[in-house]
Structure 1
Amino acid sequence: MDRREVLRLLASTAALSALPLEAMQAIHHASAKVAKSYTLKTLNPHQNATVTTIAELIIPATDTPGAKGAKVNEFIDLLLTEWFEPSEKQEFLAGLDDVDARTKAKFSAVFVSCTPKQQTELLTELDAAAMEFAAAQKKTLQTHAAPPPQNFFYQMKKLTLAGYYTSEIGFSQELGKSIIPPEHAGCAPVKGAA
């Protein structure tokens, strides 16, 4: 499965569990690549701080590390660099700029300089718009109409979830799953077979 197909599936799937195995393996491979020492290639330091803050607000640290501990920001940078088309990358970066423009207009500060309460307030507004987008996208799939324009926060949430739950932290610590199954049934007989 090629990267474009994985991104298309990621953009159109409501839950990670609905992704085909090949797509999950490709995303997990990207997460594993980030787990090694990684240098940002697309995001500048301010954009990286914004992505890190938003991702951590989406999946905060609890008794397990959050999105920041899982290096979701580096996962997103890797996808922007190696998987996204130039126009898609620019659209995502424009979405980050829009987040700062909104907080400057509303709170007179860039997003990362706002208080956690202000950041949450803005993300709540963005999430409402993202849910409207998701409903429109679902309707589009049912009616075969033209898809709505991409929504930055909807994409950010999906990338955060993909990056987190395919990381070692998200997969093993949060979900309690093992990459290597603990048992194998082998040639177990099928019930009712003659």
Structure 2
Amino acid sequence: MKRKTAIQSILALVTLGVSGVTYEFFKHGEPLPLNQLPQKKQLLAELAETIIPRTNTPGAKDCKVEDYITKMVIENTDARAQKIFLTGLADVGNYANSKYRQSFVKCSVAQRNEILKHFENKGTYSINILNKARRKFLGASFFNQLRDLTVEGYATSFLGATKGMAYDYIPGVYQACIPLQKNQLAWATK
């Protein structure tokens, strides 16, 4: 009799878990406040600059990556990913305020790195198969979206492609493997 009760309990827990995930996956809820995203460009600029800071090459702010991120999230991202991204932006602000008693924009570089490290760890599992399943069924985490959009925006900007990477405007013949010279930048066109 105890085995039957245990099996029923396990099935009930599994059913509740699956129904919760299904509800979260399919719920539509209220419309997303995408009109507020352009007002958060300063926060996006600082987040992107934390990922790709200015060194002897231009940083993400110099390349106006925040404009790229805003445009891509509003125009080219599905509603589920938009919701994850907007929720993540709000979470960054709340986390910075609760941990450092100031906004992310006013935090030091070390504090910003720690905040982004927290969100990277929050959005990543130690088992790779769980990361793949999460990405497939629930979408990419906020940090992964932010990182990917920052790198895409930087690499496709004029400054990022010409000053941040090695750029050959008219490439010659195709060479499958090109050795890098000492202190050479990554290729933008190869």
TM band (smaller chain):
0.5 to 0.7
Report the CA distance shift for 1:94/1:146 in structure 2 as closer, same or farther (over 3 A). Answer: closer
- For these two proteins, the number of residue pairs brought into alignment is 140
Amino acid in the other structure paired with 2:116: L
Cα offset, 1:78, TM superposition: 1.0
CA distance in 2, matches of 1:66, 1:165: 11
Deviation for aligned residue 1:74: 0.4
- Secondary structure class of the residue paired with 2:58: coil
Larger radius of gyration: 2
**Matching residue of 2:38:** 44
Q: Percent of pairs identical after alignment?
A: 30
Structure 1 residue aligned with 2:164, among 162, 165, 174? Answer: 174
Q: Quote the Cα distance in structure 1 between the aligned partners of 2:151 and 2:126.
A: 18
Contact 2:97 2:103 in 1 (8 A): yes
Instruction: Give the one of 152, 167, 177 matched to 1:162.
Output: 152
Per-residue deviation at 1:131? 4.1
Unpaired runs of 5+ in structure 1? 1-40, 186-194
Correspondence 1:101 to 2:101: no
In structure 2, relative to structure 1, the CA distance for the partners of 1:66 and 1:108 (3 Å cut) is: same
Paired residues for 1:104-143 under 5 Å? 104-132=97-125, 135-136=128-129, 139-140=132-133
Q: Which amino acid aligns with 1:166?
A: T
SS class of match (2:166): coil
Partner SS, residue 70 of structure 1: coil
- Choose the corresponding residue for 1:74, options 67, 71, 77: 67
With structure 2 as the length reference, what TM-score do the two structures score?
0.63
How far does the alpha carbon of each residue in 1:65-104 deviate from its partner, in whole angstroms, 9 at most, with x for none?
Answer: 1011111100001102221223432321111001011112
Which one-letter code corresponds to 1:88 in the other structure?
A
The 3 A distance-change label for structure 1 pair 65 and 146 is closer
Partners of 1:63 and 1:134 in 2: how far apart? 37
How many angstroms apart in 2 are the aligned matches of 1:80 and 1:42? Answer: 12
When the two structures are superposed, what TM-score results if normalisation uses the length of structure 1? Answer: 0.62
CA distance in 2, matches of 1:100, 1:150: 20
For structure 2, the 5+ residue unaligned runs are 1-34, 175-190
* Higher RCO (CA-CA < 8 Å; seq separation 6+): 1
Structure 1 stretches of 4+ moved >4 Å? 136-139
Whole-Å Cα distance in 2 between the matches of residues 66 and 174 of structure 1?
Answer: 8
Aligned equivalents of 2:131 and 2:145: distance in 1? 15
Distance of 2:78 and 2:148 partners within structure 1: 17
